[in-house]
Chain A
Amino acid sequence: MSSVPDTTSKINFTDNDTKFDESGIQYVINPHDEFGLTKAMQIKEKTGAELVVLNVGTAKTEPVIRKVLAIGADKAVRIDADPKDSYFTAVQIAHYINNHDEFDLIIAGKESLDYNGGMVHGLVAGMTSKKFINAVMGLELKDNNMVEVAREIDGGKEFIETSLPLIIGGQKGLVKEEELRIPNMRGIMMARKKPLEVLPAVEAAVKTKIDKFEKPAPKGAIKLVDKDNLDELIDLLHNEAKVI
């Protein structure tokens, strides 16, 4: 689970554009992970499975981890590190999984909405030799450890039959929008008593490094066309933008 800036956040950079400016930023459960969390809750309620939330982050992510516990996870593990790059983060998660080989289903988001790497899940699959399906928009447990997964493909979806254990990159569609869980008061009270284990990070290299940030170039001024002069619009789209 990733803790990411709320999707309405204005993004700024600081320290000579070398760091993300965290001032005034509200953190939330990564939206793709939210769909996965609700799916996990539904499975837990149906099968009695234990639900563990794992995060790689500094103590700053704990409010979001507590929120996941309040929604219903049984326990939390935080690997205490600044997730320097996707490879580093994947090594941490893979190390934990390899030492706690008890998970039937590992649900990640297809991408975290901060650095948008979209690769930690697949790297972990490689490092743990586990099966992996990305961009999952539907998942149904079948008998004998089998599972049917709907994966998004360009222009549609593909249904795949495979078996547990499995790692997925989840997204919208895993559960319906209206099914998404939010914490209630009882959940928040209970979350305070649930275990949140903090583990030290293992040594790991990085494979990429961000040297600096910049904001996208501002758009040029919009060209407004009068609603009674749509010929001008067609002319602009044809001769200037060259798109029709």
Chain B
Amino acid sequence: MSILIYAEQQNGKVAKSAKELASYAKAYADKTGQDVVAVGAGLEDADSLFQYGVSKVLNVNDDTLKTFNAFAHAQMVAQAAGQQGADLILISDSNDAVYMGPILADKLDAGYVSHVIGLPEDGGNFTVKRKVFSNKGIAYTEVLSDKKLLRLAKNSFGMLENPVAGSVEDFAPDVDKSVYETYKVTKVDKATGKVSLTDADIIVSAGRGLKGPENWGMVEELADVLGAATACSKPVADMGWRPHTEHVGQTGKQVAPNLYIAIGISGAIQHLAGVNGSKNMLVINNDPEAPFFKAADYGVVGDAFEVVPKLIEKLKAFKNQ
């Protein structure tokens, strides 16, 4: 018996999310005496997963399948699960995996739980903690079916090295490729050379406190220094100061970086719901009563126009050390 993870790639390399899935799977596999198997398409460095406890990688080397299609990849993962006798399958919360999740659950007739934040609880039943009500609650969810599909929330478990000896096998699933015609991708718009919000370890976000779009230079500079992505609050996107793709919050993007820096954002409950999965939050705001100070880990009370440029200078000096 084995646990199967769906390993996504990014420019051919195993995505970080796959390493987190592997870490989670290995921690549970060690309790239950199982092996961890990964399946993915076009993983150039498939063996990097051994470091995180994966002992077998089923690598698909089919040029069509190297491009994501939710229905094709659901078939690929379902066949890998069948071949490996895996009853527990793990996927990440990338947009692609979220799209594929219910299609795969339907194919496997699996009970599917999203936003999972913890290992299965000890005891007889298979119960996992998941986030509900946009991070405002946690539900202990029991999966009643034999096959179980879990979607792990980003950064909820972390990457833990646990090296094992492993093998990479060519895997050639029998996939109906007509779905690539049914859903014909005509164009992909992707910002290049910029850190994307979903991948970022650090996010620098700013709100109405910045007074106008012309003042975003220092936000971008701070992000540059930190190798961070930039984000904004809902009003800022609604006023057209920043593109909607940068809006984080309950109805925008939900993010969970290692560090979220909020500049001039008051911290409305809807905003917090989109960011409070972050490992650490730093707030910079001139209003000491801003609700964000109750939710954050670190805070600076002060004028953003004074604090941020100073912080950039200090960080540059720190990075040059």
Q: Which residues of A approach B to under 8 Å, CB–CB?
A: 5, 7-8, 10-11, 13, 20, 31-32, 86-87, 110, 113-123, 125-127, 131-135, 148, 151-162, 169, 172-173, 177-178, 206-216, 219-220, 222-227, 230-231, 233-234, 236-238, 241, 243-244
Query: Quick one: CB contact mask for B251-295 with A, threshold 8 Å, 1 for yes?
Result: 110000011000000001110010010011011000000000111
- A32-B251, A122-B101 known; 16 new pairs, CB 8 Å cut-off, are A113-B134, A117-B114, A119-B105, A123-B102, A123-B105, A133-B183, A156-B190, A159-B189, A161-B186, A208-B142, A212-B139, A219-B295, A223-B297, A226-B300, A241-B298, A243-B201
A213–B139 contact, CB under 8 A?
A: yes
B98–A243 contact, CB under 8 A?
A: no
What A residues does B164 contact at CB under 8 A? none
Main secondary structure of the interface of B (DSSP, over half): mixed
B185–A158 contact, CB under 8 A?
A: yes
A8–B270 contact, CB under 8 A?
A: yes
Contact of B98 among A135, A155, A157, A215 (CB under 8 A): A135
Contact of B184 among A86, A134, A161 (CB under 8 A): A161
A10 to B115, CA, bound (A): 20
A126 to B70, CA, bound (A): 12
B95–A160 contact, CB under 8 A?
A: no
A160 to B184, CA, bound (A): 5
A209–B144 contact, CB under 8 A?
A: yes
10 pairs of A and B residues whose beta carbons are closest in the complex? A122-B102, A126-B106, A155-B196, A227-B302, A207-B111, A156-B190, A119-B102, A11-B136, A134-B99, A243-B259
Q: Does B48 contact A (CB under 8 A)?
A: no
Q: Does B86 contact A (CB under 8 A)?
A: no
**Interface-central residue, B70, B247, B252, by most chain A CB under 10 Å:** B70
A214–B138 contact, CB under 8 A?
A: yes
A216 to B198, CA, bound (A): 22
Give the number of residue pairs across the A-B interface with Cβ within 8 Å: 252
Q: Does B5 contact A (CB under 8 A)?
A: no
A152 to B296, CA, bound (A): 29
Q: Which residues of B approach A to under 8 Å, CB–CB?
A: 70, 94-96, 98-99, 101-103, 105-107, 110-115, 125, 127, 131-145, 182-191, 194, 196-199, 201-202, 226, 238, 244-245, 247, 250-252, 258-259, 268-270, 273, 276, 279-280, 282-283, 293-303, 306-307, 310-311, 314-315, 318
What B residues does A161 contact at CB under 8 A? 183-186
Contact of A159 among B103, B133, B145, B188 (CB under 8 A): B188
Contact of A118 among B114, B143, B185, B282 (CB under 8 A): B114
What B residues does A172 contact at CB under 8 A? 244, 247, 251-252
Residue of B nearest to A242 (CB): B258
B184–A237 contact, CB under 8 A?
A: no
